């Protein structure tokens, strides 16, 4: 059924974004090369409406929590739930990232992200589906402007295929953050996204993002998120 296909596509995207369960704060999609300091944590939750022409829309809820454990490493967990026309898919992710070279003025930062996810579909119990590994890079391109790049591989245990995945992103610094990304894999056309985030103080921030898959028919996603740093 078409809405089930859209559900599957959406949760596949969740798996990509949750590789490492340490996703750089929305609205940025591309993972950053840095890691939370030991004992520092962040929790983020978001609600996204995903739509495709001539297909039922769906609502996607995601939650990600990540904490620094020292040695320039953070670990985390994520949960995603997508629902459309009475059908529900769920996914869990575990993983982290390790900073190898800290990003500094005039120097590119490098890191690695790693993770796995399990998914549950109608008529099918929760099972391990995807393993992922990605190289991360971050560099200040201009005062207040950061560039990020990711390149990695995921192995899907269901279809036994390995896919190359990539992402490029830009973000500004400050209490008002603007971000733009383009990302995809070696099969199919990429997705582009843009968004803004606002910091309110006390470690609380909110964000709004919009993404469009360049494949036809177009899949579009409008998301709203909240983040707490503690």
Kindly report the number of other CB atoms within 10 A of residue 147's CB atom: 16
pTM (predicted TM-score):
0.89
Dihedral of alpha carbons 195, 81, 130, 189, sign: negative
What is d(CA 216, CA 213) in angstroms, rounded to the nearest whole number? 8
> Can you list the domains of the chain with their CATH numbers?
2-229 (2.40.160.40)
pLDDT for 22: 47
> How far lies 180's CA from each of 6, 92, 193, in Å?
24, 26, 6
3-class SS shares of the chain: helix, strand, coil, % to 5: 5, 70, 25
pLDDT for 25: 76
Digit-by-digit pLDDT tens for the chain (230 residues) are 344 444 555 555 554 444 544 455 789 999 999 999 999 999 999 999 999 888 888 899 999 999 999 999 999 999 999 888 888 889 999 999 999 999 998 899 999 999 999 988 777 888 998 999 999 999 999 999 999 999 999 999 988 999 999 999 999 999 999 999 999 999 889 999 999 999 998 999 999 999 999 988 898 999 999 999 99
Here the tokens at position 22 are: 């340490």
Dihedral of alpha carbons 72, 35, 132, 95, sign: positive
pLDDT for 23: 55
* pLDDT tens for each residue of 49-68: 999 888 888 899 999 999 99
pLDDT for 108: 98
């Amino acid at each position: 059924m078409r809405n089930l296909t859209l559900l599957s596509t959406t949760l596949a995207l969740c798996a990509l974004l949750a590789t490492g369960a340490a996703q750089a704060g929305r609205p940025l999609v591309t993972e950053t090369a840095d890691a939370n300091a030991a004992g520092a944590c962040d929790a983020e939750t978001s609600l996204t409406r995903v739509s495709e022409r001539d297909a039922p829309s769906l609502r996607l809820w995601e939650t990600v929590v990540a904490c620094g454990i020292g040695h320039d490493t953070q670990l985390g967990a994520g949960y995603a739930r997508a629902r459309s026309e009475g059908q529900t898919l769920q996914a869990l992710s575990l993983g982290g990232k390790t900073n190898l070279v800290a990003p500094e003025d005039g120097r590119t930062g490098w890191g690695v992200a790693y993770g796995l996810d399990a998914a549950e579909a109608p008529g099918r119990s929760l099972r391990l589906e995807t393993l992922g590994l990605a190289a991360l890079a971050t560099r200040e391109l201009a005062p207040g402007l950061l560039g990020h790049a990711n390149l990695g591989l995921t192995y899907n245990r269901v279809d036994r295929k390995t896919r190359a995945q990539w992402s490029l992103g830009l973000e500004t610094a400050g209490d008002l953050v603007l971000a733009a990304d383009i990302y995809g894999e070696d099969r199919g056309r990429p997705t582009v996204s843009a968004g803004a985030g606002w910091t309110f103080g006390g470690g609380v921030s909110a964000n709004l993002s919009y993404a469009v898959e360049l494949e036809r028919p177009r899949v579009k996603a409008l998301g709203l998120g909240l983040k707490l740093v503690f």
